[in-house]
């Protein structure tokens, strides 16, 4: 059983630079660790947060100057929530942007970021306003461990 003390919230601000994508993964892993996820759950969380941060770096601030805001919290004692925000360009058509293979990032981008987030997390929601930025909310329920350390 998890206690209420684990339901805190933490916030992080990072310069929108590709060097900080790895730091965001470590931040997500360290926060999620308090719910004792499996290796697979941890990998899912790190990958989804990484994709959201990478999207902000590449698409929100194409000129490279900007800040990415990440908040994390525990909901109901068993669900981790990450919100990744930027104050960048925004997304013209969120529904289209969430389609597999759609990208505005050029030939070197796969267009699979949102698809990856959706496949690894239980809930993904995206809101965006042109010229004001984008907010990506990622939630994943962590299965409680059974006796003996197995899920």
User: Known catalytic residues?
Assistant: 51, 55, 109
Residues 6+ apart with CB under 8 A from 9: 71, 72, 73
Contacts of 79 (CB under 8 A, 6+ apart): 122, 139, 140, 141, 142
């Amino acid at each position: 059983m998890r206690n209420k003390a684990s339901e805190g919230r933490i916030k992080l601000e990072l310069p929108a630079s590709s060097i900080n994508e790895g730091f965001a993964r470590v931040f997500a892993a360290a926060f999620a660790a308090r719910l004792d996820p499996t290796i697979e759950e941890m990998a899912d969380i790190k990958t989804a947060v990484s994709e959201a941060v990478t999207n902000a770096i590449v698409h929100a601030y194409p000129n490279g100057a900007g800040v990415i805001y990440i908040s994390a919290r525990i909901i109901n004692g068993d669900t981790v929530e990450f919100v990744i925000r930027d104050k960048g360009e925004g997304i013209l058509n969120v529904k289209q942007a969430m389609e597999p293979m759609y990208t505005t990032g050029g030939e070197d981008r796969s267009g699979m970021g949102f698809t990856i987030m959706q496949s690894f997390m239980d809930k993904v929601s995206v809101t965006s306003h042109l010229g004001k930025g984008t907010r990506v909310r990622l939630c994943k329920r962590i299965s409680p461990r059974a006796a003996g350390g197995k899920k």
